[in-house]
Structure 1
């Protein structure tokens, strides 16, 4: 009985994480005779703690039979670009360094053990937000990463 609730909780958490990004588009990279093609997916998400910062992520998505069933492990390839889309107000928690490295986005890239993450840093000296994307795994992560910086600029209407 305990295991059923644990599995249900994990599945609900995974579904909840996927709801934070909006798919913008995709391109096929490898044709698969059975199942979906391998592709690159472009998604957008808004920083949950900083209004008016939107990040765009492109990532590899494995197709084929395993990919179609959600059993494939996606590669760690990803790129990120973040932009200011309106007036930004940074909270005191972020300004004081208490939110350095906070996870602002997660997406599972395998059935259980691997996920793509985006973390945020605040560079006080340059008044900029820095977003780092990387992939981690329970046993072994990947050194592949990408970074994007958003200088906090005055915004006129």
Structure 2
């Protein structure tokens, strides 16, 4: 029984590594204070940028509300499911030969347990458009908060 449990853990760890390997880390652009707190960090809205890891020439920006106060300073607060997404062509786009119909390109935790903001890239082949969908997810029942941005695949600078 013990070896079966260890085998399951190994498979689960491999699956997590496979999923995470295609997801990029965002770079913080900046934050704006939305409410000053006497004790602990202020409530803020932060903007992060990330390139699409499989489609060179596309950069996305996501803004997210960040909870301050003592719990926010300690990393224990649950950030609200409030975000916006904008993706743009920032260089020549070169699509990979086998672009999956759907893939997660960004994931960021918004609480200590079970909540994240995820950005999924979809390929609308009929309109030659990359569709980026940001969603807030909870492990148990999923949240309906979402934002969408599209990037038509077009020539860049005469190319």
Residue in 2 that maps onto 1:151: 152
How far the C-alpha of 1:151 sits from its partner, in A, is 0.5
TM-score by length of 2: 0.83
Contact 1:17 1:106 in 2 (8 A): no
Aligned to 1:92, the other structure's residue is in SS state coil
Residue in 1 that maps onto 2:130: 129
1:118 aligns to 2:119 (yes or no) = yes
How far the C-alpha of 1:141 sits from its partner, in A, is 1.8
How far the C-alpha of 1:100 sits from its partner, in A, is 2.4
Q: How does 1:6-155 map to 2 (within 5 A)?
A: 20-94=25-99, 99-155=100-156
Contact 2:22 2:104 in 1 (8 A): no
Q: 2 CA distance for matches of 1:17 and 1:91?
A: 14
Larger Rg: 2
Q: Is there any run of 5+ residues in structure 2 with no aligned partner, and where?
A: 1-8
Give the 4+ runs in structure 1 shifted more than 2 A: 16-19
How far the C-alpha of 1:17 sits from its partner, in A, is 10
Q: Is there any run of 5+ residues in structure 1 with no aligned partner, and where?
A: 1-5
Contact 1:18 1:107 in 2 (8 A): no
Q: 2 CA distance for matches of 1:91 and 1:74?
A: 35
Q: 1 CA distance for matches of 2:138 and 2:127?
A: 32
How far the C-alpha of 1:101 sits from its partner, in A, is 2.4
Q: 2 CA distance for matches of 1:145 and 1:156?
A: 32
Aligned to 1:75, the other structure's residue is in SS state coil
Cα deviation code 1:21-47 (max 9, x no counterpart): 111111111111111011100010000
TM-score by length of 1: 0.84
User: Between Structure 1 and Structure 2, how many residues are aligned?
Assistant: 142
